[in-house]
């Protein structure tokens, strides 16, 4: 059963995609693939990808527990799995700990694995999205109790994908955020980077006067192409983001 904080998963409107859920321990993915490519076998492939990447991270954390505990940039061992290295690199760029990039890293790794089976793939992991699409799509923004929640969407063009669209919130969900933004949405070709920068940007939003500073901060990170921050009735947006009403 979806929690109230994940009711957005019930709002899919694409007619060309089929969505299914893959849940393994703390990882809970909503995956969309082209309708004609969907099968039970494809769902099993997705689950195996999740298990594989989780196992890689769990085994690495056993030998390098600092990777899991650090809230600041962390240097991984030379033999760290690629997904751990990607998380550490993204976190270093954002100035946060590597676990701030874990949801985005898993979304992207699973999504890229599924591109062998479907040319359109959406993988959402707690608000962190990997997207590859062959048509224009709209991604609605959930911002908790803000009156702007579900009122605006990002319009995504196929030529800008694959891409990561990641959301952090100080008022929604259980992920650590030191700020109080209702939604921080970051766009990047790298989903782990978008995830880490969403966390870092959310940490600096304490009031409406911080919104412009927050989007400027996000866009100062190399690899970030767009940023949107919502707090209450106010928002700030910068970069290559096309907002449309819902």
Confidence class for position 7, pLDDT limits 50, 70, 90: low
Mention every residue, 6+ apart, whose C-beta is less than 8 A from residue 198: 128, 166, 167, 168, 184, 185, 186
Asked whether the predicted pLDDT for residue 4 surpasses 50, the reply is no
Mean pLDDT score, 157-172: 94
| Residue given tokens 């997705």 in the structure block | 46
Mean pLDDT score, 180-185: 94
Residue that wins the pLDDT comparison between 178 and 126:
126
88 and 80 Cβ atoms separated by less than 8 Å: yes
Mean pLDDT score, 173-189: 82
Asked whether the predicted pLDDT for residue 24 surpasses 90, the reply is yes
pTM as predicted: 0.93
Q: pLDDT value at position 3? A: 45
Name 152's bridge partners.
245
Confidence class for position 15, pLDDT limits 50, 70, 90: confident
Q: What is the mean pLDDT of the chain?
A: 94
For the stretch 23-39, what's the b/e string if a residue is b when 16 or more beta carbons lie within 10 angstroms of its beta carbon? ebeebbbbbbbbeeebe
Mean pLDDT score, 145-171: 95
Q: Which two tokens stand for residue 132?
A: 């590859």
Residue that wins the pLDDT comparison between 54 and 170:
54
Domain residue ranges of the chain, discontinuous segments joined by + = 4-245
DSSP per-residue codes, the chain: ---GGGGGGGG---SSEEEEEEEETTEEEEEEEEGGG--HHHHHHHHHHHHHHHHHHHHHHHH-THHHH-SS--PPPTT--HHHHHHHHHHHHHTS-GGGGHHHHHHHHHHHHHTTT-SSEEEEETTEEEEE-SS-EEEE---TTSTTTTTEEEEE-GGG-SEEEEEE-SSSSSS--SS--SEEEEEES-HHHHHHHHHHHHHT-SSGGGHHHHHHHHHTSTT--EEEEEETTEEEEEES--EEE-
pLDDT tens digits, 47-74: 999 999 999 999 999 999 999 999 999 9
Asked whether the predicted pLDDT for residue 97 surpasses 60, the reply is yes
Mean pLDDT score, 124-133: 97
Mean pLDDT score, 125-145: 96
CATH superfamily of 4-245: ApbE-like domains (3.10.520.10)
Mean pLDDT score, 80-98: 99
């Amino acid at each position: 059963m979806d929690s109230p904080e994940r009711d957005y998963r019930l709002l899919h409107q694409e007619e060309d995609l089929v969505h299914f859920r893959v849940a393994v321990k703390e990882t809970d993915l909503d995956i969309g693939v082209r309708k004609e490519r969907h099968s039970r076998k494809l769902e099993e492939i997705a689950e195996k990808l999740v298990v594989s990447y989780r196992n890689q991270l769990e085994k690495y954390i056993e030998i390098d527990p600092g990777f899991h505990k650090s809230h600041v940039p962390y240097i991984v061992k030379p033999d760290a799995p690629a997904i751990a290295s990607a998380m550490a690199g993204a976190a270093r760029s954002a100035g946060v700990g590597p676990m701030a990039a874990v949801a985005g890293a898993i979304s992207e790794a699973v999504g890229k694995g599924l591109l062998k089976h479907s040319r359109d793939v959406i993988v959402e992991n707690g608000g962190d999205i990997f997207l590859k699409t062959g048509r224009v799509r709209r991604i609605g923004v959930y911002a908790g109790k803000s009156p702007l929640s579900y009122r605006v969407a990002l319009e995504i063009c196929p030529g800008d994908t694959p891409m990561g669209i990641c959301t952090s919130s100080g008022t929604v969900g259980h992920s650590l955020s030191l700020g109080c933004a209702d939604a921080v949405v970051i766009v990047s070709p790298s989903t782990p980077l978008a995830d880490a920068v969403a966390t870092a940007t959310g940490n600096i939003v304490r009031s409406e006067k911080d919104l412009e500073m927050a989007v400027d901060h996000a866009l100062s990170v190399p690899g970030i192409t767009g940023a949107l921050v919502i707090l209450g009735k106010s928002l700030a947006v910068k970069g290559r983001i096309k907002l449309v009403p819902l």
